[in-house]
Amino acid sequence: MESHGKHSGQAHPHTVEGTDPQLHVETHEPAAAADSEAAILTSRPVLLIHGFASCIKLNWTDAGWISALTGAGRRVIAVDLPGHGLSGAPEDMDSYTPSRIRADLLQIVFDAGARPLLEGDPTSGLDVIGYSLGSRLAWEFGATQPELVHRMVLGGPSVLDPLAAFDLPAAQRYLADGTPIADESTAGLLKMAQLLPSNNVFALLSLVEAIKTEPFVPDEAVPRMPVLLVAGDRDERAESMPQLAALLDHAEQLLLPARTHTNAITSRAFKNAALDFLAR
């Protein structure tokens, strides 16, 4: 069973500043739910947060995560970030800030039926899986929602803000008149953003600009629930994983052999480790 739709004021009353974030939300029920309505109530939901210039389809559906999670009896809540995938591209800059996105995610999961953690109740609370930028957002979400988040899996994480070094003026000049971008990382991220027709590139630049107003400082707000950190051993971001782990009370780390930041998300070993970790 699967449902799709916009997270809007009409479908679900949205209380953050009284505006509609235009976020596309998908909920996917556990495989067992096809045979029993009650089966839906026996699964703690899992929130999926994708990376920059990605989307639900690319990051989670095509990579096999949704089928793996629902096949393991988990209920899934997936969101396209602003300007990504099937989500809208709000005109107000505030809609793209990490704090606003976290508030929208909180509203979304409560709308989808998530409840605060209750000791002894395996259906209460929420598990979170984030990748790349999604890991940064998940880190802060978990740190600010300890009464809700049970466990987290963070893929391709970094102690540094993944978009802090993005050369926004250079990207804007390139889009305006084709001026080459000197910074390879910026050029690569912009190219990736342009590869997906569903992405609103100008909205993604608004996201970059908004994120720069709220720098990622992981030691200022630290998640206290158990966290699994995962990265490919050929991903340069893996170098800072031990620094993140050192901040956490309960951390596990996994390096995926011969995987990069781009293809770690498709790893079967990644999925298996995440399923095992979240089931504890």
pLDDT for 170 equals 96
Residues 194-210: what's their mean pLDDT? 91
List of residues 6+ apart from 223 with CB closer than 8 A? 139, 142, 143, 146, 149, 152, 248
pLDDT for 172 equals 94
Q: Which two structure tokens, joined as six digits, stand for 230?
A: 């995962």
Q: What are phi and psi of 135, to 5 degrees?
A: -70, -40
CA dist., res. 47 & res. 7, Å (int): 15
Q: What is the pLDDT of residues 178-197, one digit of tens each?
A: 999 999 989 999 998 898 88
Count CB-CB contacts under 10 A for residue 160. Answer: 15
Residues 210-220: what's their mean pLDDT? 95
CA dist., res. 80 & res. 26, Å (int): 9
Lowest mean pLDDT segment, chosen from 109-113, 122-126, 159-163, 264-268: 159-163
Lowest mean pLDDT segment, chosen from 23-37, 74-88, 223-237: 23-37
- Residue where the block lists tokens 């996994």: 254
- Provide the CATH number for the domain formed by 2-162+215-278 in this structure: 3.40.50.1820
pLDDT for 55 equals 96
Residues 60-72: what's their mean pLDDT? 97
**Confidence (pTM):** 0.90
Q: What is the 3-state secondary structure (H, E, C) of the chain?
A: CEEEEEECCCCCCCCCCCCCCCEEEEEECCHHHHCCHHHHHHCCCEEEECCCCCCHHHHHHCCCHHHHHHHCCCCEEEECCCCCCCCCCCCCHHHHCHHHHHHHHHHHHHHCCCCCCCCCCCCCCEEEEEECHHHHHHHHHHHHCCCCEEEEEEECCCCCCCCCCCCHHHHHHHHHHCCCCCCHHHHHHHHHHHHCCCCCHHHHHHHHHHHHCCCCCCCCCCCCCCEEEEEECCCHHHHHHHHHHHHCCCEEEEEECCCCCCCHHHCHHHHHHHHHHHCC
Q: Is residue 95 predicted with pLDDT exceeding 90?
A: yes
Mean pLDDT of the chain: 90
Q: Is residue 127 predicted with pLDDT exceeding 50?
A: yes
Q: Is residue 10 predicted with pLDDT exceeding 70?
A: no
Pairing label, strands 2-7, 227-232: unpaired
Q: Is residue 6 predicted with pLDDT exceeding 50?
A: no
pLDDT for 21 equals 77
